Structure 1
Amino acid sequence: MSDQKQRVFSGIQPSGNLTIGNYLGALKNWVAVQQENENFFCIVDLHAITVPQDPKVLAEKIREVAAIYLAVGLDPRHCTIFRQSAVPGHTELAWLLNCVARFGELSRMTQFKDKTVRGGSDSASAGLFTYPVLMAADILLYNADLVPVGDDQRQHLELSRTIARRFNHTYGETFVVPKPMILSAGARVMGLDDPTVKMSKSAGSPGHYIAILDEPDVIRKKVRRAKTDSGSEVTATADKPAITNLLDIYSATTGRTIPELEDEYEGRGYGDLKRDLGDAVAEALAPIRTRALELLSDPAELDSLLAAGSEKAREASAPVLRDARSRMGLG
């Protein structure tokens, strides 16, 4: 067993525009470790429909995410890239696990509370409430050993671990209890217009995020308009959340340390930092954008790649689902 690669599962929703936060916090790191593990990288389209989506736009975004996965350097020889909804086992296992999860556990999920703060829980879909169980099914269906997660998903992963242990205790050893994958390099990118909230690809204001497919001049303009703090010293400190965020993005994009950047901009203003950061981000994302647009120009090829990945995912997950069904008396 020690010679076998560990299984890794992760995915991104095809809603909104994938941002530099998705790239620096997830995709870049997936690429870095893809040859070390057996990877299943999913486009989690079923999660996207927990809130209303325009069907035509959603179909386009699914292809767009697939193109970006490939453009950043994910290689189908080292990872299985597929659509969640093309593998029926995700929804079937989610129902089985819904019968194992507890209502009280789901009601304590902070993301559900955060997402329903405006409209209230009465107006939210049941899918939004049970979203964490589908996430557990996504992971457990592949007996994933490791799951790369950010801080905002740790609670959901812990629920997945709880459900796996409860199922194993009740019905016998069935699922691997997944562990969080701690990446040596990861960035928590905050909003350009509000450095107190994580950058969101679904934000209403384009000035909130840098999209991976933004044109270089658009990126430079967004960085120029990014919120700054009072004063003029370029330092990463608790009382300078906006400048700290820009330095974090700069560091994650270029590989240079925060202290190195602080030394470089000592005695210089925010304008210099923004100009150089805009150039650095535009340069880093330009080849990804070019490659993604090339891939999107041939949608049939993208669909074929996703179909092949989905077939591999179905084959890999079928024994796990069969075992879970059998242990529950549904064999």
Structure 2
Amino acid sequence: MNDVVLTGDRPTGRLHLGHYFGSLANRVALQERHPLYVLIADYQVITDRDVPGEIRRHTTDLLLDYLAVGIDPARATIFQHSAIPELNQLLLPFLSLVSVAELGRNPTVKDEIAHSSQRAVSGLMFTYPVHQAADILFCKGTLVPVGKDQLPHLEVARLVARRFNERYGVVFPLPEAMMGAQPLLKGLDGGKMSKSRGNAIALSATEDETAALVRGARTDADRLITYDEERRPEVANLLTLAGLCLGRDPGELAAEIGDGGAVTLKRVVTEAVNEFLRPIRKRRAELTEADARTVLAEGNERARERAVRTLEEVRVAMGF
């Protein structure tokens, strides 16, 4: 049986280069080999915040970024939580298979709660891993690209699938983690790259915006540019970024820059990023919001057909 891949993002802002090298490029490759479901997790936006913000605007931006980087709606099913009621209905039987104690021990949930902007922890945040299990299992997902911090969530999905199969008969495959060697890009301020911290280069940023962001990036006082992740993390991060965009070794770039200092380093990075993003920006400029709406409507229809079939299997297995 061909593996089915489930992946996605929360629509909370524009996607950036960290997303591209961390997951988007991999999705473009995966769609050539496997059925690929790409979830716009709009319901999950309200897990850790009181209001969803500009959810429609962010959903459109997300779609345009997906299409611009090469995710093909003819090969991948792009869909959103709020349009698939049958997917979300799976949350109810799945919650009956997991104990409160098991949810409370999830280390990823603990960390997300600690960084939540909500005044109090919502029930949706607490049950977040079970909702993710529904995301994965509704399409009979077997491969889930995840980072190390998301492994506890995938374990919940495996637990739910295993217990459902044991209790009601085999309906679901046990999903496996797809761990890649994606590079970790830090933000331009040396911290975690984040849409909300203003320290990332958005895929839709203009050349001038990109240049300004790189100019403001942290470096250090040493004029001789060397690649040393431990002693010079900010410089190493900029070299890594340029290396990824150019397809070159960051150490070689450092040697070429030599004693050119931060000014030369930032010029090299700016030129590398702008050259890399140029075709992506061109494709994005050719797309319209109407294109995005059409792609989403078609993807939602296909995903809902899959969800209806899965929910019916669940109802039959449970005796409803």
Choose the corresponding residue for 2:238, options 234, 246, 249.
246
Give, as a single letter, the amino acid of the residue that structure 1 aligns with 2:214: V
Q: Distance in 2 between matches of 1:228 and 1:312?
A: 48
Partner of 1:278: 270
The yes-or-no answer on 1:123 pairing with 2:114 is no
Choose the corresponding residue for 1:301, options 291, 298, 315.
291
Partner of 1:60: 57
Distance of aligned partners of 1:230 and 1:112 in 2 relative to their CA distance in 1, 3 Å threshold: farther
Partner of 1:188: 184
Cα displacement (A) at 1:141? 0.8
Q: Distance in 2 between matches of 1:127 and 1:171?
A: 26
Partner of 1:155: 152
Distance of aligned partners of 1:120 and 1:272 in 2 relative to their CA distance in 1, 3 Å threshold: closer
Give, as a single letter, the amino acid of the residue that structure 2 aligns with 1:306: L
Q: Distance in 2 between matches of 1:122 and 1:267?
A: 50
Partner of 1:201: 195
Cα displacement (A) at 1:255? 1.8
Cα displacement (A) at 1:323? 1.6
- 1:116 counterpart SS class: helix
CA contact (8 A) 1:234 1:268 kept: no
Q: How does 1:1-331 map to 2 (within 5 A)?
A: 1=1, 5-50=2-47, 51-54=49-52, 57-117=54-114, 123-183=120-180, 186-195=182-191, 197=192, 199-203=193-197, 206=198, 208-229=199-220, 231-232=222-223, 233-296=225-288, 299-330=289-320
CA contact (8 A) 1:17 1:202 kept: no
Q: Between the two proteins, what is the percent identity of the paired residues?
A: 37
CA contact (8 A) 2:222 2:261 kept: no
Question: RMSD over aligned Cα, in angstroms?
Answer: 2.2
TM-score by length of 2: 0.91
CA contact (8 A) 1:147 1:181 kept: yes
Q: Distance in 1 between matches of 2:50 and 2:14?
A: 16
Cα displacement (A) at 1:54? 5.0
Cα displacement (A) at 1:240? 2.1
Q: Distance in 2 between matches of 1:37 and 1:136?
A: 20
TM-score by length of 1: 0.88
Cα displacement (A) at 1:261? 2.6
Cα displacement (A) at 1:120? 8.7
Q: Distance in 1 between matches of 2:174 and 2:69?
A: 30
Give, as a single letter, the amino acid of the residue that structure 2 aligns with 1:42: L
Instruction: List alignment gaps of at least 5 residues for structure 2.
Output: none
Q: Give the stretch that moved more between structures: 276-285 or 221-230.
A: 221-230
Q: Deviations over 1:21-72 (max 9, x none)?
A: 11111111111221111111121111112223355x2111111111111111
Cα displacement (A) at 1:230? 5.3
